[in-house]
A and B are shown apart, each in its own frame.
Chain A
């Protein structure tokens, strides 16, 4: 199993551009999450999903959109990139419920200039 795979690993965007951060998992986990990590601020939840077709907002959803058309994939969309979205983005998944062990991808480092 590859676990949780994120692409790309690095990306530089110009202000106003859009992009999709890809996340896929091969563990058949129902629950998937997007977090962002800013220096000294820990991880903040952007969006999460409890199964295909179901998504919900986390603590910092503004400026982002998600979809969950399959169990495996949970892409994160930035429509109009802003410097405040410069961050490291982590996708994670868990098997049994929201509060059980989360498995993380390696992260996408995004810089908006």
Chain B
């Protein structure tokens, strides 16, 4: 079965650079979530989209922005990168934004900021 696809899987950037992470949800899934997992930390919710509109916002820095496109894929744009942004970024998708709907997770993008 098709799963959530994230690209790139690994990304290395310098401080103050920008990065774009992409997430392709499971076909027919209309809701996308982004989570950030720092080293040794639990995943923290960043932001979510339902039907191309932002549906919830968590602890996402102002330097980050995200959107969901007409084909339901989502991109997380990160600017003025800081060392503390080094983390594993997970994307998840679900069918519908109801809280009882299972979120299916992608493999993550590991971002390293030097």
Q: Do A and B come from one complex?
A: no
- Please report B residues at the A interface, Cβ cutoff 8 Å: none
- Please report A residues at the B interface, Cβ cutoff 8 Å: none
